[in-house]
Amino acid sequence: MLVTIIAFLVILSVLVLVHELGHFLFAKKFGIKVEEFGFGFPPRVFGKKIGETIYSINLLPVGGFVKLYGEDEAGGGTVKSSKLKVKSFDLKRAFFARPALQRATIILAGVIMNFILAVVLISYLFTAHGVAIPTANIRILEVTSNSPAEAAGLKKADEIVSLNGKKINQTKDFADFARKNAGREIKLEVKRNGKVFQAKLVPRKNFPKGEGPLGVAITNVEIKKYPWYSAPFFGTLEAVKFSFMILQGLSEMVVNLVIYGKTPTGIAGPVGVAQLTGQAVSYGIVATLWFTALLSLNLAVVNILPIPALDGGRLFFIFIEMLSGRKVNPRYEALAHAIGLAILLALILLVTFSDVARLLSGKSLLPKM
């Protein structure tokens, strides 16, 4: 339990700090005054001012933050020199006073940094260990002797394109289909060396222990490994692919909830993520790094959504400003962010209750195969 908590805090801190580092670096690049760059969240334990920025260590060791001058008044330009007792020169360095494109870049930089972190981790895994990548079709790893698969002429490395005309690319679905159709003839569309052919076979009702109805060992993943000079390219492709998968999953969740009223499943809050972190750590460094990369992509995708209180929400208001030529009323923007934050906190609380209930019941977030 202690290892899980420590690993969770370390991974979460790295992800958030990398995100905030993006905001920090571009704010500095554009000459915006950075008041504080903190590790953890207040209350402050230690702080040292270097130049105009305070670098602090705070009591709550989860993530970090960047405090930009004029950020709280971002929409409306309400910072006044008499209020803050600063020179008019400093007002030009306030976040809200910068051009819309610069503000958008600073906000977007956090998301980009999370994406880059995922690419770096995936690229390293491609080079050092190899990465298990989902395949388009189920592949046969082994065919046992005197089995229906052998009688049908199936061989190692064959790809199963479809079963009775239906596309199936999950090993569990394949196994369930074979068991449900035991004793009945089924048709497999098989690809071998680029050529597609059909095979007919009858799954066994009674079969030797460990073999299954068809007598094949199957997988829907393959280990990919690349040299260091091409790993970043393929790492980027995988990061993009998984980002779209995450976005698709979120879209389906919203549609099922709003249109069909279905309660979302397979979603993890802080407790659930901590549980998954412990499981990843128990599998070793490769699983931990891969899990960290996926978390970083999740953070990037969720943050870019046009939801008030998130980076995407702030970008949305800047986009409106760029189209209309004037800033959104700061009161309306502040109200939208407040409502968005309240909804997000309510969702996190709801998911946390679900995580705790699942944890107490002994259920796992990972599907059983």
Residue finishing a domain among 224, 254, 273 = 224
- The structural domain count of the chain equals 2
Tokens of 116: 């880059």
Tokens of 194: 């680029």
Closest to 274 (Cα-Cα) out of 62, 41, 9: 9
Strands (E), 144-251: 159-163, 186-192, 195-201, 216-224
For residue 367, being part of any structural domain is answered with no
Residue 262: what pLDDT?
65
For residue 89, being part of any structural domain is answered with yes
Look-up of token digits 């592949």: 139
What is the spatial distance between Cα 38 and Cα 64, in angstroms, rounded to a whole number? 5
Same domain, 137 and 114: no
Residue 86: what pLDDT?
46
Same domain, 313 and 271: yes
Same domain, 220 and 334: no
Tokens of 45: 């334990």
Q: Could you tell me the strand order of the sheet in which 195-201 lies? A: 195-201, 186-192, 159-163, 131-143, 216-224
Same domain, 47 and 33: yes
Residue finishing a domain among 172, 205, 224 = 224
Residue 257: what pLDDT?
66
For residue 332, being part of any structural domain is answered with yes
Residue 264: what pLDDT?
58
Whichever domain contains 184, its CATH number is 2.30.42.10
Backbone dihedral angles phi then psi of residue 244, each to the nearest 5 degrees: -65, -35
Residue 129: what pLDDT?
86
Name the catalytic one among 20, 71, 189, 333. 20
Same domain, 140 and 171: yes
For residue 369, being part of any structural domain is answered with no
Residue finishing a domain among 201, 224, 247 = 224
What is the spatial distance between Cα 365 and Cα 103, in angstroms, rounded to a whole number? 38
The gap from C-alpha 123 to its chain's centroid, in whole angstroms, comes to 16
For residue 229, being part of any structural domain is answered with no
Same domain, 240 and 350: yes
For residue 24, being part of any structural domain is answered with yes
Backbone dihedral angles phi then psi of residue 44, each to the nearest 5 degrees: -75, 135
Same domain, 293 and 346: yes
| Regions of the chain short of the pLDDT cut 50 | 74-86, 366-369
Same domain, 194 and 296: no
Same domain, 89 and 200: no
Residue 52 annotated among the catalytic residues of the structure: no
> Which range of residues forms the domain containing residue 216?
132-224
- Taking the model in full, what pTM does it have? 0.77
* CA-CA-CA-CA dihedral for 249, 252, 254, 259, to nearest 10: -170
Residue 268: what pLDDT?
66
Same domain, 163 and 241: no
Look-up of token digits 């670096």: 25
Condensed to tens digits (0 to 9), the pLDDT of residues 277-329 reads: 888 888 889 889 999 999 999 999 989 988 888 899 999 999 999 999 888 88
For residue 350, being part of any structural domain is answered with yes
